[in-house]
């Protein structure tokens, strides 16, 4: 039985967690394949909110085996805290399997993440400061510590000795900061082993066994296409490959194991952290560079809508609390995401948030500074910084579509919005959502 991938089609926080949870009901394994606790996936079930960072969104179902794949970077302290929190919310977390090959985020990774951001000053990336980039960098440099290394005191000591020699020098000489004591680190991490060891597994074998046995395997991406290290808006990206293809190295499968690829998009766009954003709407004066001569009326209307999206969509980071930058739906980017991921379909989230606006805009092309209209994402970053969105304006729909879980009950203009998105990006919208809860999921009639 081939697998399904759920991946973010924008800049993150599209609602991957809620759609993963929805599809997990019919899945046997839910496998995270990249990222770490920079992710925040929110799921609302029967009035209870679950906020997941590392644990796959399949954890909420007793019949699902949640798997943290080899491509994930794991802070074991955060993982255990998250499991404790979920247990306190009444969940059985004992089924979680964690790859022995997943790399460990150590305290020095988090410290270096914080320090490099500070060092970059106004050029900072706005990372989540969770140590993600430095941990993946050490993996690539081949000086990383893997989960399995924690199980062998001798190996752990040898690896830490090598890596700390360099880290402590950098911390002292470049950043004028104290280094890390190997004995303290050994003590802290070895103390976690009794709880971690029973979770560690050969997750590649687990995934293949499930696929061979005809089970449903769902691969859950974190972050998103335009935060992808290779295909995102570099350097304003994360340090892994969230695109669907990332499930191959991140979980140990080949492309033939995947048939269904769901790109999750919001009905508008948000972004946290720095980087270009063509359809961005200002929250405050100066947030967005307008063409000279743009009227105050347009700027203030845009600001009103930007603030409306943040307030109505509650656009604040799930675990960092940072306010997200809002903007209109960018179908040029979405079409590009469909290509990069070979999406078979789109899940369109947060339709309810647009409810009540008289007009809803969709970006269908870009205009370059020399007045040319293009309908693709320019490969050159400077060009992408300079494009202006070309909008198509659609009529809005009634405010109250929260709780509408049937396509036929959606207002005609909301249906027209969905149909227009499908026509532009070239694949069907198979799910939409009209509220944060599990039962606010609209399954489109043909799926």
Which residues are at the interface with ligand GDP (CB under 6 A)?
8, 12-18, 40-42, 44, 313-314, 318, 349-350, 352-353, 433-436, 440
**Buried/exposed 282-319: b ≥16 CB within 10 Å, e otherwise:** bbeeebbeeeeeeeeeebeebbebbebbbebbebebbb
Asked whether position 128 contacts ligand IMO by CB under 6 A, the answer is: yes
Asked whether position 222 contacts ligand IMO by CB under 6 A, the answer is: yes
Asked whether position 39 contacts ligand IMO by CB under 6 A, the answer is: yes
- 228 belongs to the catalytic site: no
- 41 belongs to the catalytic site: yes
Asked whether position 246 contacts ligand IMO by CB under 6 A, the answer is: no
SS3 state of residue 335: helix
In angstroms, give the least distance from the CB of 161 to ligand GDP. Answer: 37
Count of residues that bind ligand IMO according to CB under 6 A: 24
Q: Strands 65-68, 29-32: parallel, antiparallel or unpaired by DSSP?
A: parallel
Token representation of residue 429 = 């919208």
In angstroms, give the least distance from the CB of 223 to ligand GDP. Answer: 8
Contact 213, 25 (CB under 8 A): no
| Alpha carbon distance 321, 202 (integer Å) | 35
The Cα-based distances of 22 to 136, 197, 210 in angstroms read: 30, 30, 20
| Alpha carbon distance 429, 446 (integer Å) | 10
Asked whether position 99 contacts ligand IMO by CB under 6 A, the answer is: no
Q: Which of the ranges 58-66, 90-98, 104-112, 218-226 carries the binding residues for ligand IMO, by CB under 6 A? A: 218-226
Contact 30, 64 (CB under 8 A): yes
**What does 132 bind: ligand IMO, Mg ion, ligand GDP, none (CB cut-off 5 to 8 Å by kind)?**
ligand IMO
Asked whether position 333 contacts ligand IMO by CB under 6 A, the answer is: no
Q: Which is nearer to ligand GDP, 69 or 313 (CB)?
A: 313
Query: Closest by alpha carbon to 287, among 268, 267, 302?
Result: 302
In angstroms, give the least distance from the CB of 443 to ligand GDP. Answer: 13
Q: Which is nearer to ligand GDP, 17 or 326 (CB)?
A: 17
Q: Which is nearer to Mg ion, 225 or 318 (CB)?
A: 318
CA angle 280, 285, 286 (to 5 degrees): 70
The Cα-based distances of 148 to 109, 134, 155, 196 in angstroms read: 18, 19, 10, 10
**What does 272 bind: ligand IMO, Mg ion, ligand GDP, none (CB cut-off 5 to 8 Å by kind)?**
ligand IMO
> Among the options 21, 28, 37, 41, which is catalytic?
41
Asked whether position 132 contacts ligand IMO by CB under 6 A, the answer is: yes
Q: Which of the ranges 104-112, 177-185, 219-227, 292-300 carries the binding residues for ligand IMO, by CB under 6 A? A: 219-227
Q: Which of the ranges 181-189, 231-239, 260-268, 429-437 carries the binding residues for ligand IMO, by CB under 6 A? A: 231-239
DSSP string, 267-333: SEEEE-SSS--TTB--SSTTSS-PPTT--HHHHHHHHHHHHHHHHHTT-B-TTT-PBPEEEEEEHHH
The Cα-based distances of 29 to 49, 202, 208, 321, 335 in angstroms read: 22, 14, 11, 30, 29
Which residues are at the interface with Mg ion (CB under 5 A)?
13, 40, 318
Asked whether position 272 contacts ligand IMO by CB under 6 A, the answer is: yes
Tell me which residues touch ligand IMO (CB under 6 A).
8, 12-13, 38-41, 125-128, 130, 132-133, 222-224, 227, 236, 238-239, 272-273, 318
Catalytic site positions = 13, 41
């Amino acid at each position: 039985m081939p697998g399904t991938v759920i991946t973010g089609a924008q800049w993150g926080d599209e609602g991957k967690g809620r759609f993963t949870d929805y599809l997990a009901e019919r899945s046997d394994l839910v496998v995270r394949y990249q990222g770490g606790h920079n992710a925040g996936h929110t799921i609302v079930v029967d009035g209870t909110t679950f906020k997941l960072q590392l644990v796959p969104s399949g954890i909420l179902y007793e019949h699902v085996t949640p798997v943290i794949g080899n491509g994930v970077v794991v802070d074991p302290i955060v993982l255990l805290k998250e499991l404790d929190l979920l247990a306190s919310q009444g969940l059985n977390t004992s089924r979680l399997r964690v790859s022995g090959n997943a790399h460990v985020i150590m305290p020095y990774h988090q410290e270096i993440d914080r320090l490099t951001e500070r060092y970059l000053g106004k050029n900072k990336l706005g990372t989540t400061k969770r140590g993600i980039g430095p941990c993946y960098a050490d993996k690539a440099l081949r000086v990383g510590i893997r989960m399995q290394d924690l199980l062998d005191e001798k190996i752990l000591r040898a690896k830490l000795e090598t890596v700390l020699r360099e880290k402590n020098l950098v911390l002292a000489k470049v950043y004028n900061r104290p280094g890390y004591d190997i004995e303290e680190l050994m003590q802290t991490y070895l103390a976690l082993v009794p709880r971690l060891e029973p979770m560690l597994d050969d997750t590649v074998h687990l995934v293949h066994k499930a696929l061979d046995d005809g089970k449903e395997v769902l691969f859950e991406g974190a972050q998103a296409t335009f935060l992808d290290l290779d295909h995102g808006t570099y350097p304003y990206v994360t340090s892994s490959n969230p695109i669907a293809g990332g499930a191959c190295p991140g979980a140990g499968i080949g492309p033939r194991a995947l048939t269904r690829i769901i790109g999750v998009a919001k009905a508008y766009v948000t972004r946290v952290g720095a980087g270009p954003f063509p359809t961005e709407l200002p929250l405050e004066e100066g947030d967005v560079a307008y063409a000279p001569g743009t009227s105050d009326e347009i700027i203030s209307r845009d600001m009103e809508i930007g603030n409306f999206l943040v307030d109505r969509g509650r656009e604040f980071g799930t675990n960092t609390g940072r306010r997200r930058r809002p903007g209109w739906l960018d179908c040029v980017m979405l079409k590009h995401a469909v290509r990069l991921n070979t999406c078979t379909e789109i899940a369109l989230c947060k339709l309810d948030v647009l409810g009540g606006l008289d007009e809803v805009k969709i970006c269908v092309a870009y205009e370059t500074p020399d007045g040319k209209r293009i309908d693709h994402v320019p490969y050159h970053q400077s060009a992408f910084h300079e494009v202006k969105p070309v909008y198509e304006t659609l009529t809005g729909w009634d405010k109250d579509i929260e709780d509408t879980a049937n396509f036929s009950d959606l207002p005609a203009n909301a249906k027209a919005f969905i149909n227009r998105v499908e026509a532009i990006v070239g694949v069907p919208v198979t799910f939409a959502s009209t509220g944060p809860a599990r039962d606010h999921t609209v399954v489109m009639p043909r799926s």
